[in-house]
């Protein structure tokens, strides 16, 4: 049981994370063992904010319903949100935006798992001083507009949440207090 009785809603834009991982970090489609360990994300949020994390994983199921992945998400504690719509509709973005808007009326905390700047204007009203709001992503690919929002907390998928089994080939600026020369001396 967590000391805090509040919930944190973890809203996952899985396509955005997968596209960034594949297109910007790996330069190819990620293999199954290179994808995030989604259960670690919920555990990380629960430990970090000492409260229950409830995950909503948004998927575009217009042309494909990945039932094996959906079942795996359910087993990991996520509620898969399967969406469909016209080919030109960004159904995942629309659903996350509506969810962020609905959360304004609740006291719960929120962690958005996405790099996408399309959510900035719906995240901003949640920064009302009554709740914690975070963005969990690869820091170097997170939309820079989030940095203009006072009170938001940033988490890195790899370095903070430790969502990967092996180090990713990322280039990053290392804070001097984290610098380990042995990592470069092999």
Return the closest-CA partner of residue 6 out of 48, 57, 39, 53: 53
Using CB atoms within 10 Å of the CB of residue 129, give its burial: 0 to 12 exposed, 13 to 18 middle, 19+ buried. exposed
* Chain centroid offset of residue 36 CA: 10
Laid out side by side, the sheet with 153-156 consists of 78-83, 52-60, 7-13, 109-113, 133-137, 153-156
State the architecture of 7-185 in CATH terms: 3-Layer(aba) Sandwich (3.40)
Residue 115 has pLDDT above 80, yes or no: yes
Using CB atoms within 10 Å of the CB of residue 92, give its burial: 0 to 12 exposed, 13 to 18 middle, 19+ buried. buried
Average pLDDT of the chain is 93
Residue 48 DSSP code? H
- The pLDDT assigned to 43 comes to 97
User: pLDDT tens, 42-91?
Assistant: 999 999 999 999 999 999 998 888 899 999 999 999 999 999 999 899 99
Q: How many CA atoms lie within 13 A of 10 on its CB side?
A: 28
pTM: 0.91
Using CB atoms within 10 Å of the CB of residue 161, give its burial: 0 to 12 exposed, 13 to 18 middle, 19+ buried. buried
């Amino acid at each position: 049981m967590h000391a805090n009785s509040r919930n944190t809603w973890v809203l996952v834009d899985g396509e955005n994370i997968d596209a960034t991982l594949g297109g910007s970090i790996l330069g190819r489609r990620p293999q199954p063992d290179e994808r995030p360990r989604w259960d670690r994300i919920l555990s990380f949020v629960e430990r970090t904010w000492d409260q229950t994390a409830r995950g909503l994983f948004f998927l575009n199921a217009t042309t494909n319903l990945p039932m094996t992945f959906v079942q795996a998400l359910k087993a990991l504690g996520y509620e898969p949100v399967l969406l469909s719509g016209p080919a030109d509709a960004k159904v995942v973005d629309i659903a996350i935006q509506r969810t962020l808007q609905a959360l304004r009326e609740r006291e719960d905390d929120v962690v958005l798992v996405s790099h996408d700047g399309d959510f900035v204007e719906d995240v901003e009203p949640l920064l009302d001083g009554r709740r914690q709001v975070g963005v969990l992503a690869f820091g170097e690919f997170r939309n820079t507009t989030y940095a203009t929002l006072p009170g938001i907390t940033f988490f890195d998928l790899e370095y903070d949440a430790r969502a990967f089994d092996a180090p990713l080939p990322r280039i990053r600026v290392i804070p001097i207090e984290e610098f380990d020369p042995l990592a470069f001396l092999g």
